[in-house]
Amino acid sequence: MKKKYLLFVYFIASIMILTLSFYLIKHLDPQFINSLLGINTFESEDDAIENNFASENSIILNSGNSGSSCVIISGYASLTDSNEKRLYLAVKSSAEKITDEKHKNSGYYLLSPITISGVNLSSSQIKKVIYAFQFDNPEIFWLSNVFNYIHSQNKTIIKLTSIFSKSEKEKAAKKFNEKISEIKSKASVLPNEYEKELFVHDYLIDNCTYKKTSSSNNYKIYTAYGCLVEKEAVCEGYSKAMQILLCNLGIKCQTVTGSREKEDHMWNVAKIDNNWYHVDVTWDCAGELQKYDYFNLSDELIKKTHTVNSVVTETSDFSQDKKYNFELPKCNSMEKNYMEVNCVKIENLGDETRQKIIKKLISLASENKKMIHLMIKNNYDNYKAKLLSEEPLLYFECLKNANSNLLNGHKLRTTQSQFLENKNQNVITLKLIYE
């Protein structure tokens, strides 16, 4: 009898324990239950993402399906607030999670909501993170700047947007990756970083049309996709395409924000043979004879025509209306500046200098090149006049001498020429006109 009574008590106790367990699982905080059981958890999904990275310096940020690899973490590294970094990593995780729901005002597609627990992030903080993310990850071209957010019980819920639907994005990414692979296959066989950079620079100029923002509401012109696939872009699209292509060729490259002629502008800095240089593809699109005026400039030279925005770590407030730079490497070299590499350098107008011009003309015309660059190192106005406007018109004499060494089909017109001056470098660029 006693044994039956004990079995009955054990049975009732077991039922009560199971009932209590189900109640705890259903009604209590899962994190609390896990802590009772000795299981380590994270406050939210974005915390779990953050803990997947060993350190800031080991992060390789490339989009899951885009296939293009840009190892740029300057935007992430510039975020000094830990909650901003949590949001950045959550954006990385959510970038592919495009829903069918549309944003009411823009018509873009909403991404799955991101929740950052324990903090009320401001609009400026969210915007800074989005800029930092786009700075590091231009290959995620579908992510727009449009977002919604709310604060709820000491947490921030953010809805980002995509300019493409999920199916559209998959098709666009396929085209995008194919174009990158095509360009990369042509550029990768070139012998050095300078030649690869030059190839990409020329490709973008020759294959994309500058689109004025006032004539289009198409967000794609701000992206590398617009530049490479749809072949229309503003400066931001050119710069992001340059960044992606050079990164895919193993050349470090990032974007720079600022202004030129009082208009907001974006261009690049690229690291060529261990030195950083400014390169502005957009302004090199301005005309045939201006094609290389902004290829690999130093800080000193770029600042003669461009204003560079502040670095975000050097300001206490991230303005809603202005983009900042996340890192600005020093650009102190002119060794790989296009004009320094390719110009005929003129220090006097003696026979030796004339022979250098003639030899260069023969070399260029033999390959039917389109222009010659003359860099006048001193006495600029006087030498320019003697070469082009004062008798005996020394440049045209050089053309005649070059023709005596050129085959038919490569001979140059000796009675006229078009030229353009780059006074920041004392360079005259002359068009080669063939007979």
CATH of the domain at 304: 3.10.620
pLDDT confidence bin for 214, thresholds 50/70/90: low
Instruction: Check whether residue 197 and residue 281 sit in a common domain.
Output: yes
Distance CA 315, CA 326 (A): 11
Instruction: Check whether residue 317 and residue 401 sit in a common domain.
Output: no
Closest CA to 72 of 206, 201, 253, 225: 253
| Predicted local confidence at residue 24, as pLDDT | 38
DSSP helix/strand/coil, 93: helix
Query: What's the domain range around 214?
Result: 167-336
Query: What is the total count of domains within the chain?
Result: 4
Contact 395, 387 (CB under 8 A): yes
Q: Which residues contact 97 (CB under 8 A, 6 or more apart)?
A: 111, 112
Instruction: Check whether residue 144 and residue 235 sit in a common domain.
Output: no
- Read off the pLDDT of residues 243-294 as tens digits, 9 standing for 90 and up: 999 999 999 999 999 999 889 999 999 999 999 999 999 999 999 999 999 9
Instruction: Check whether residue 193 and residue 326 sit in a common domain.
Output: yes
Instruction: Check whether residue 23 and residue 75 sit in a common domain.
Output: no
pLDDT confidence bin for 316, thresholds 50/70/90: low
Closest CA to 399 of 419, 382, 380, 381: 419
Locus of tokens 């030796």: 352
Higher-scoring residue by pLDDT: 5, 63: 5
Q: Give me 105's structure tokens.
A: 């005002």
Distance CA 27, CA 289 (A): 73
- Read off the pLDDT of residues 55-88 as tens digits, 9 standing for 90 and up: 222 223 333 334 444 466 889 998 989 999 999 9
Instruction: Check whether residue 315 and residue 354 sit in a common domain.
Output: no
Instruction: Check whether residue 247 and residue 311 sit in a common domain.
Output: yes
Instruction: Check whether residue 64 and residue 33 sit in a common domain.
Output: no
Instruction: Check whether residue 68 and residue 180 sit in a common domain.
Output: no
Distance CA 227, CA 138 (A): 12
Distance CA 213, CA 219 (A): 9
| Predicted local confidence at residue 238, as pLDDT | 98
Distance CA 190, CA 202 (A): 14
Kind plus residue range of the DSSP H or E element containing 135: helix 123-136
| Predicted local confidence at residue 3, as pLDDT | 47
Whether the upstream peptide bond of residue 392 has omega within 30° of 0, thus cis, is: yes
- Read off the pLDDT of residues 385-398 as tens digits, 9 standing for 90 and up: 999 999 999 999 99
Instruction: Check whether residue 100 and residue 13 sit in a common domain.
Output: no
> Is the pLDDT assigned to residue 32 strictly greater than 60?
no
Instruction: Check whether residue 175 and residue 324 sit in a common domain.
Output: yes
Q: Are strands 232-233 and 143-151 parallel, antiparallel or unpaired?
A: unpaired
Q: Which of 6-20, 204-218, 403-417 has the highest mean pLDDT?
A: 403-417
Q: Give me 258's structure tokens.
A: 């600022």
Domain boundary among 115, 137, 162: 162
Alpha carbon of 264 to those of 74, 205, 212, 267, 296: distances in Å? 21, 20, 13, 11, 20
Higher-scoring residue by pLDDT: 36, 349: 349
- Mean per-residue pLDDT of the chain: 85
Alpha carbon of 105 to those of 108, 128, 134: distances in Å? 8, 21, 22
DSSP helix/strand/coil, 420: strand
For residues 158-186, average pLDDT:
97
Domain boundary among 336, 364, 386: 336
Query: If phi over 0 gives left and psi between -120 and 50 gives alpha, with beta otherwise, what is residue 41?
Result: beta
**pTM of the predicted model as reported, rounded to 2 decimal places:** 0.83
Domain boundary among 122, 138, 162: 162
> Could you tell me what percentage of the chain is helix, strand and coil, using 3-state DSSP and rounding each to the nearest 5?
45, 20, 35
Instruction: Check whether residue 362 and residue 298 sit in a common domain.
Output: no
> Is the pLDDT assigned to residue 20 strictly greater than 70?
no
pLDDT confidence bin for 23, thresholds 50/70/90: very low
- Exposure pattern of 233-269 as b/e (b: 16+ CB <10 Å)? bbbbbbbbbbbbbbbbbebbbbbbbbebeeebbbbbb
pLDDT confidence bin for 416, thresholds 50/70/90: confident
